[in-house]
Structure 1
Amino acid sequence: MPPRTSVPPLRRLPLIVTTDSALLDELLRLAAAAGTEVEVAADPAAARPRWSPAPLVLVGTDQAQACLRARLPRRPRVVLVGHTGTGDPGWDLAELIGAEHMAMLPAAEPWLVDRLAEGPGRQQPDGTGRIVAVVGGRGGAGASVLAAGLAVTAARARLRTLLVDADPLGGGLDLVLGWEQLEGLRWPALTRTDGRLDVPALVRALPSRGDLVMLSWDRGDLLHLPAEAMAATLDAGRRGRDFVVVDLPRQLDDAAVIALQSADQVFVVVPAELRATAAAARVVAGVAPHCTRLAAIVRGPAPGRLKAREVARALDLPLAGTLRPEPGLVRGLERGEAPTADGRGPLAELCQRIVTDLVSLPASGAA
């Protein structure tokens, strides 16, 4: 696979979940009338990878019980769809699967066409934030520093940015930014969240400086991060922020899978070493099934003169960029200086290019 240095924006399509052929034919006809393409999943297992990223999900009444048993994460813009006269599933079931509306055909056809017409390329102002996830190919690869650098770069470009620390064993992104003394909510206060978060309230409650807010861990007991809390947080981020960066653990849990499924782009950071590449191959095998855009970032130095393109080729991934050694960055981190804060150096250059590619930001935006 040839390397590339920029990643095109991910195209998101409405998702239909049904095995009812008559219902599917009707919904495909309505999508055509709305001028939009759709994706189709026969059951919750097929729907899961596309459930969170889809701008709209239409669940057929034939699959409502199956979706409930599958415990798919709660998300906005889910509609339960069926035919009048084939049995009313009831609002109780709709609420259990997180549906905001019930649409019974044929009466609801005009309403559904309007909803489908709000899809790709015509999204409403809410729900337009870009989500980027970063994972290390091995321990100490530098994924957390890249995640923090991306967030700082986006905030310097006046993008409203949310940085999410999803790695409970990573030591805390607040330390990477030098924010450990800032007051605000940490993950333990949000672990019981299972619904929609109020974006302004969340932003006010989190540690912040300027356009950057962060959700990280405290120094208390190690806690399990529920998938529902991650889904609600990313939903709030996409609705209310311009740019969201998630730092992921290498051992994936349900919350990390939700983040991967929600991300517009995922980067694996790999040192240019043979053993690191072998370790990253295992990480990629676990990550790849859950995301649609995955690319490698290779970090030097290369003690054995292993080239970045060779590392990316070994992982069967496009090469999104490289990072040269940056001793000043390491010294700055030890002093509590946030990475890329001055906008100079290899990391800052890479982060600026990534942010520009993903949000079509003019290159001068970070001046």
Structure 2
Amino acid sequence: MRDAVAVTQSPRPPRDAVPDHLAGRAVAVDVADPDLDADVRAVLAALALDPVTREVDTADVVVTDRDHADPRPGVARVVRVGGEDAAGDDDEVIRLPSGTADLVGALLAPVTTGGGVLVAVVGAVGGCGVSTLAAAIAVRAADFGRTLLVEADPRGTGIDLVLGAESEPGLRIEDVRAELGGPDPDALWGAVPEVGTGCRVLARSRDRDETPVARSASDGALGAVSAHRAAGGLVVCDVGGFAVGDPVLARADLVVVVTRADFQGVVAAGRITCELPGATLVIRTHRGDPLEAADVADAAGLVRWHVLPEVRSVRRLAGTGDLGGALEAGARGSRWRLRRLGALADALLGEVLSGDR
């Protein structure tokens, strides 16, 4: 076993010497390697921070050496550590013991615990209306405060089309520089197109020539999501298809999985819910579906599920960019099935805004 890092030789500061923003901070240690675990705990001891168990859901920071850290609800930050000789060149991993100063900096940095909420909508199969549902949730969420609809799908073709904002001037995903730590939330809010009172959209440009980026911190969508949420805003993300380790899904307060009432939909939804057991299922139904919605939910193993019938008027409104206005107007003059889409959006928001999750 290698020698302990030099920080272990530092005297433990008295409690009243701990910076105000560190007082009461909960740091969970989830490190499998014993040498790394000793290094991390030495740093915590030098900072007068007592580590808590990984099972504590309300930890402010989790320090881990696992490749796919899975932050639990309430965890504000994940700090990844690794050994000097470990394979890989991930810049987000702090190498110990040489990176002790970086670990100290990560632990000392203020933790944003604003009241922001992130709702992510993901499709189990293609063509099940993920963008339409995400747009509906965002429009209805505007009643609760600043709501930003973000197209997190790297292969998206412009969710602003659904809301008729494709010609509106303003920022697109490609304009956001995530590598600078995320945009200023107020500047971001003022620069993106408005699609309704209290609701704005950050979509992908349809004029881009570059290959779609992977879902990682290098993508401007994640920086925008983090910035708006940290400022206390409500974010709704169109995630598109499912990918293991998706950073948006890992951070979401509510994940909505949309699927169809057929065998392909059941299998795909089951695979996703194995990775995301706390998700809520929305089953898009059509006349003549081979399966009942209840059977789909049962096979997927989810307790929370909703049914949304296919409605031609909704598809038409989304295609013409009039969906946002119809939903914002509420029930007045709307067909009952369009009202059902609004009611579903309200029900999903109720799950995450009621504080019961």
Give the alignment's TM-score, normalised by structure 2.
Answer: 0.71
Q: Equivalent residue for 1:44?
A: 65
Distance in 2 (CA, whole Å) between partners of 1:140 and 1:50 is 30
Distance in 2 (CA, whole Å) between partners of 1:260 and 1:53 is 14
Query: Is the 8 Å Cα contact of residues 15 and 54 (structure 1) preserved in structure 2?
Result: no
Query: Percent identical across equivalent pairs?
Result: 26
Distance 1:173 1:253, change over 3 A: farther
Distance in 1 (CA, whole Å) between partners of 2:194 and 2:263 is 39
Given candidates 313, 335, 352, the residue that maps to 2:298 is 313
Given candidates 324, 343, 348, the residue that maps to 1:354 is 348
Distance 1:65 1:147, change over 3 A: farther
Distance in 1 (CA, whole Å) between partners of 2:285 and 2:77 is 41
- Which residues of 2 match residues 254-293 of structure 1 at below 5 A? 257-282=246-271, 284=272, 288-289=274-275, 291=276, 293=278
Q: Equivalent residue for 2:38?
A: 20
Given candidates 309, 314, 322, the residue that maps to 1:324 is 309
Distance in 2 (CA, whole Å) between partners of 1:99 and 1:68 is 22
Residue type matched to 1:148 in 2? A
Q: Equivalent residue for 1:101?
A: 108
Distance in 1 (CA, whole Å) between partners of 2:266 and 2:234 is 29
Q: Equivalent residue for 1:343?
A: 330
**1:16 Cα offset (Å):** 2.7
Given candidates 157, 175, 183, the residue that maps to 1:171 is 157
Given candidates 128, 132, 153, the residue that maps to 1:141 is 128
Question: Cα deviation per residue 1:34-65 (whole Å; 9 max; x = unaligned)?
Answer: x9964997842166112896224567xx7575
Distance 1:69 1:145, change over 3 A: same
Q: Equivalent residue for 2:216?
A: 227
Distance 1:167 1:50, change over 3 A: same
Distance in 1 (CA, whole Å) between partners of 2:351 and 2:264 is 31
Distance in 2 (CA, whole Å) between partners of 1:264 and 1:66 is 36
Distance 1:14 1:175, change over 3 A: farther
- C-alpha root-mean-square deviation of aligned residues, in Å? 3.8
Higher relative contact order (CA 8 A, sep 6+): 1
Query: Is the 8 Å Cα contact of residues 15 and 50 (structure 1) preserved in structure 2?
Result: no
Q: Equivalent residue for 1:240?
A: 231
Distance 1:292 1:240, change over 3 A: farther
Distance in 2 (CA, whole Å) between partners of 1:360 and 1:29 is 32
Query: Is the 8 Å Cα contact of residues 41 and 47 (structure 1) preserved in structure 2?
Result: no
**1:170 Cα offset (Å):** 3.5
Given candidates 153, 162, 167, the residue that maps to 2:140 is 153
Q: Which has the larger radius of gyration?
A: 2
Query: Is the 8 Å Cα contact of residues 135 and 249 (structure 1) preserved in structure 2?
Result: yes
Given candidates 165, 171, 174, the residue that maps to 1:185 is 171
Given candidates 61, 64, 71, the residue that maps to 2:90 is 71
**1:212 Cα offset (Å):** 1.2
The size of the alignment, in residue pairs, is: 305
Distance 1:215 1:63, change over 3 A: same
Give the alignment's TM-score, normalised by structure 1.
Answer: 0.69
Given candidates 105, 123, 127, the residue that maps to 2:114 is 127
**1:306 Cα offset (Å):** 2.2
